[in-house]
Amino acid sequence: MAAGEFFIFVEGIFALVAAAKQAGYLVIVVTNQAGIGRGYYTETDFHRLMKWVGEQFVIQGGSVDAVYFCPYHAEQGIGQYKQQSPFRKPAPGMILEAAEKFSIDLANSMLIGDNISDIQAGSAAGVGKLFLLGSDHEEAASYRAIKIKNLAAAMAQL
């Protein structure tokens, strides 16, 4: 199977990332990857996919500065991957690690997520602007997240 064979990009992501880069933002991906922990695919498979994803962003005029991932799952992980982790969202570990490494001012940063756990992690880390994409989750407001239906709404905030 080729990297990206079954991968679908969210509509508008290339334009958003290109605009974010032009505005001087770092673009950092933070993603839970319980599929690794459950044995569905390997860390090598994930790195191969992320290399391909990064290449697609460059082709489209943007770039991803870093990818942080958490392969652990406390209940359904297998072997070394069956553990609690401060990096698994909704915990803020991946965001805090990226902020430290890249000297990111989280209060002046934005996070776009498609799951309430993304918003919870961003809120716990102190990210200034939180956007919940394509969800009508009632909890979003309690985390001061703005619900958006598409990425153009987030682009207007750059």
Query: Over the stretch 56-77, which tens digit does the pLDDT of each residue have?
Result: 999 999 999 999 999 999 999 9
Across residues 25-37, what is the average pLDDT? Answer: 97
The confidence band for 123, taking pLDDT boundaries of 50, 70 and 90, is very high
3-state SS of 74-116 is: CCCCCHHHCCCCCCCCCCCHHHHHHHHHHCCCHHHCEEEECCH
Q: Which of 21-30, 101-110, 142-151 has the lowest mean pLDDT?
A: 142-151
In the chain, what is the straight-line distance between the N-terminal and C-terminal CA atoms, in Å?
A: 37
Q: What is the pLDDT of residues 92-115, one digit of tens each?
A: 999 999 999 999 999 999 999 999
More confident call, 7 vs 70:
70
Structure tokens at 69: 């991932």
Across residues 22-36, what is the average pLDDT? Answer: 96
CB 64 within 8 A of CB 27: yes
Beta strands in 6-152 (DSSP E): 28-32, 66-70, 110-113, 129-133, 146-148
Rounded to 5°, the CA angle 107-109-111 comes to 115
pLDDT of residue 115: 93
The confidence band for 2, taking pLDDT boundaries of 50, 70 and 90, is low
